[in-house]
Amino acid sequence: MKRLLSLLFLCTLCLPVMAADLVEIYGQAKASDPAWRAAQAGRLAGAEKAPQGRALLLPTLGLSAGKSESDQRVKTPTINNTFRYGTDSYNLQLTQPLYRKQNTAGYAQGIAGANVAEHEFELARQDLILRVTRAYFDVLAAQDVLNFAVTEKEAIGRQLALAKRNFAVGSATLVDVHEAQARYDLAAAQQITAANDLEVRKEALRVLIGASPGALSRLETKFELQPPDPADMEKWVQTAATESPRIKSQQESLEIARQEVEKNSGGHYPTLDITASRTYLDAGGSVQGFAIESTTNQVGLQFQMPLYQGGSISSKVRESAARLEETSQRLDQTRRQVSQQARETYLAVINGMARVQALEQARISNERALESTVIGYERGVRTGVDVLNAQRELFRTRRDLSQARYDYLISRLRLKAAAGTLQEQDLEDINRLLARQSPG
């Protein structure tokens, strides 16, 4: 029985480690990232702008009540007396605005303010997708750089050992030994730098998910490069002009500024309200010497016309008109920036595909070049320095290829974010390119 348990334990140790993938890390970030949680709270707060604006058009109802004790002395030619009595009263007041230009503008501002909060929340959601993907791939890229650095140092170490043996038997020069030693020392320093950078990248991911990241799923060695769909840059620009949350948010801000002009100009307009009230009074005495109890119901219209406010209303109108122009110009600026970003990210995807393909071919060529250089070194027609140079070019190409693949995938997400169409499904599509088993 003990032997069986031992075998089961050993088999468990042999199982591949299941690493966290991109979607799982995104879920952890949604539960932990302070910026995202702040965006959620901001959305809830902004949504209240709509009912606050609507309340300006609805009736208001107020209740007041009072209780007092009176001690009154009345002295006339025929009366000289003191009256002491208590009084209870309440008043119920209803006011329904019929015409208030400021309130109508405030209602429109409330709706626009709620819409701004919704668009800002959408921006925060897309930003979280990009931040998580960037941080995730930064860790993978840093891990690749470290792996390449370790592999390169090991390869240089073997070349150093070979140069020393060949020098000992007289088939290599001291230059080969010194060059290999220098390259080995440099590779050791680069390995230390790469290890430090990996820890820094992990720390950046930890800030997002609120915990130290464990093993991460790695990108598959081969995957299909997909061009933008549609493959027309101007169509992406047109989509961004209509779907971008940044533009939509700025459009709602323009509406808020426009209604602010209406609200301030409403200070010159009259107001008309319908009012209804009920007043109850119960006095335990009076100067007449007897108690009084009364109930009064009133319904009426209340009209108010502002005549002069010291010029403050006109000043506020001028200020809000200038703010409206400022917001209009910012909307135009946002449109141009979004269009520029759509074009840049489209080109980044196209160029990223070309760069990955070029580096794939360069990797194959460098591998062949290294093989040829090693054969030439063994036959005495190439030097150890030539081998070291060929190794360096190969590892640099592998490192650049790794980074180019990550950059291409992120550019795909950034293009959809620029167009305002980035969804969690796009994250899941990239997640399917990851291998679930953690290497090593």
Domain membership of residue 257 (yes or no) is yes
Determine the pLDDT at residue 84.
Answer: 74
pLDDT digits (tens, 9 = 90+) for 371-392: 999 898 888 788 888 888 899 9
Asked if residue 394 and residue 293 are part of one domain, the reply reads: no
Find the DSSP H helices in 94-244.
101-169, 174-209, 233-243
pLDDT at 297 over 60: yes
Asked if residue 216 and residue 298 are part of one domain, the reply reads: no
pLDDT over 90, % of the chain: 69
Helix (H) or strand (E) holding 282: strand 271-283
3-state helix, strand, coil in the chain (%, to 5): 65, 15, 15
Closest CA to 183 of 399, 398, 400, 384: 384
CB atoms under 10 Å from CB of 427, counted, come to 19
pLDDT digits (tens, 9 = 90+) for 246-268: 999 999 999 999 999 999 999 89
List the beta bridge partners of residue 93: 62, 277
pLDDT digits (tens, 9 = 90+) for 200-230: 999 999 999 999 888 999 988 778 899 999 9
pLDDT at 291 over 80: no
The CATH number covering residue 331 comes to 1.20.1600.10
Asked if residue 293 and residue 163 are part of one domain, the reply reads: no
Those residues whose C-beta lies under 8 Å from the C-beta of residue 223, and which sit 6 or more positions away, are 433
Asked if residue 261 and residue 114 are part of one domain, the reply reads: yes
List the beta bridge partners of residue 296: 279
Average pLDDT, the chain: 89
Asked if residue 378 and residue 297 are part of one domain, the reply reads: no
pTM confidence score: 0.86
d(CA 280, CA 298): 12
Domain membership of residue 40 (yes or no) is yes
Determine the pLDDT at residue 170.
Answer: 75
Average pLDDT over residues 148-171: 86
**CA atoms in the 13 A half-sphere facing the CB of 112:** 19
| Residue 335 Cα to chain centre, angstroms | 19
Determine the pLDDT at residue 293.
Answer: 81
Domain membership of residue 405 (yes or no) is yes
Average pLDDT over residues 78-105: 85
Asked if residue 38 and residue 66 are part of one domain, the reply reads: no
Domain membership of residue 72 (yes or no) is yes
Phi, psi values for residue 67, rounded to 5°: -140, 130
pLDDT at 4 over 70: no
Write the Ramachandran bin of 300: left for phi over 0, alpha for psi from -120 to 50, otherwise beta: beta
Asked if residue 135 and residue 180 are part of one domain, the reply reads: yes
Those residues whose C-beta lies under 8 Å from the C-beta of residue 183, and which sit 6 or more positions away, are 156, 159, 160, 388, 392
Domain membership of residue 5 (yes or no) is no
Determine the pLDDT at residue 10.
Answer: 41
- 383 token code pair: 């030097």
| Residue 220 DSSP label | P
Average pLDDT over residues 133-155: 94
Domain membership of residue 220 (yes or no) is yes
Reported as a pLDDT band with limits 50, 70 and 90, residue 167 is confident
Asked if residue 75 and residue 216 are part of one domain, the reply reads: no
Closest CA to 295 of 276, 279, 275, 282: 279
pLDDT at 9 over 50: no
Asked if residue 425 and residue 384 are part of one domain, the reply reads: yes
Asked if residue 252 and residue 281 are part of one domain, the reply reads: no
d(CA 354, CA 363): 14
The CATH number covering residue 71 comes to 2.20.200.10
Count of positions (residues) in the chain: 440
Asked if residue 347 and residue 261 are part of one domain, the reply reads: yes
Asked if residue 298 and residue 203 are part of one domain, the reply reads: no
Closest CA to 30 of 114, 131, 118, 117: 131
Which residues span the domain enclosing 84? 59-98+271-304
Domain membership of residue 162 (yes or no) is yes
Domain count, the chain: 2
Domain membership of residue 8 (yes or no) is no
